[in-house]
Amino acid sequence: MKAISRQGIATGEIFHILNRGVDGRTIFMDEQDYFRFIHCLFEFNDFSPALNLSYFLNQSQSIDFRNQYNKKRESRKLIVEILAFCLMPNHFHLLVKQKTDGGITKFMRKLGVGYANYFNQKYKRKGTLFQGKYKAILVKEEAHFIHLPYYIHLNPLDLIMPEWRKRELKNYKKAVKFLENYRWSSFPDYIGKKNFPSITQREFLLDFFEGSEQYKKEIKNWLRSLDPIKDLTKIKKMTLE
């Protein structure tokens, strides 16, 4: 399946979006960088101009960015619906639904430029941070739609259990526990553990997967399953990796 051109992105459709650091470089050097990018996901997903990107976060607690802006902004008009996300040291995944014509293009431009400016200023560097333009693949088949959220949320296992990709995972309990505590992902929020609840619009997927408890059960089953229909090779063309 080919990546969709910017002109081909239609309102109401869902896309898997990915980008990585240029030459595979690390784009999140410390916790502050992860927090900054997640804040950008919230702040730039609005047709109104960004209010203030200089902010203080209590990094030990769940963060609902809406609480920081209720006094300054009566309402937000979302550019896209962020259904799921996962940040890895040198790349990120987003599952996004476009709400208005040109929304993904507008949002990704704001996100990419905003975070790159922050990163370059912080680390006193110049030049491109990301490896070209982001990739966006249209999710057309139901099988892809069903399995992509699992794939996106399982990516952090590459850091401690890369064998999950070969279906050779042995300690499922440890794997799920790690995912539950991996902050830079929407997985905790999907299983009812508040992390960054204001970033994602979860109603659509949670309704599809029949709630938080069922989603947690299904991701465990997905890890255990050797069903070829669920094999990673079946969605490889959707992963852009």
> What is the rounded distance in angstroms from the CA atom of residue 183 to the CA atom of residue 34?
9
Do 82 and 153 have their domain in common?
A: no
Domain-terminating residue out of 107, 123, 138: 138
Nearest to 186 by CA among 150, 139, 213, 145: 150
Q: Give the range of the structural domain holding residue 161, as residue numbers without chain letter.
A: 142-239
The model carries a pTM of 0.85
Do 67 and 115 have their domain in common?
A: yes
Domain-terminating residue out of 94, 113, 138: 138
Using CA atoms, how far residue 178 sits from 56, 159, 160, in Å, is 26, 10, 9
At 64 the pLDDT is 58
Using CA atoms, how far residue 52 sits from 39, 55, 94, 203, in Å, is 11, 7, 23, 28
Do 187 and 208 have their domain in common?
A: yes
| Edge-to-edge strand list for the sheet holding 80-88 | 80-88, 91-98, 14-20, 135-138
Is residue 7 pLDDT above 60, yes or no? no
Is residue 113 pLDDT above 60, yes or no? yes
At 166 the pLDDT is 83
Q: Is residue 1 part of a domain?
A: no
Do 158 and 128 have their domain in common?
A: no
Q: What's the token pair of residue 4?
A: 């969709």
pLDDT band at 73 (very low <50, low <70, confident <90, very high): low
* Segment 208-220, tens digit of pLDDT: 999 999 999 999 8
Q: How many domains does the chain have?
A: 2
Do 122 and 21 have their domain in common?
A: yes
Do 179 and 223 have their domain in common?
A: yes
> What is the rounded distance in angstroms from the CA atom of residue 69 to the CA atom of residue 87?
24
At 165 the pLDDT is 86
> What is the rounded distance in angstroms from the CA atom of residue 182 to the CA atom of residue 218?
18
**Window from 66-75, 92-101, 205-214 with minimum mean pLDDT:** 66-75
* Segment 40-67, tens digit of pLDDT: 999 999 988 776 555 444 444 555 555 5
Strands (E) across the chain are located at 14-20, 80-88, 91-98, 135-138
Q: Is residue 51 part of a domain?
A: yes
> What is the rounded distance in angstroms from the CA atom of residue 113 to the CA atom of residue 119?
10
At 57 the pLDDT is 45
Instruction: Summarize the confidence of residues 76-88 as an average pLDDT.
Output: 95
Domain-terminating residue out of 114, 138, 162: 138
At 140 the pLDDT is 83
Do 223 and 157 have their domain in common?
A: yes
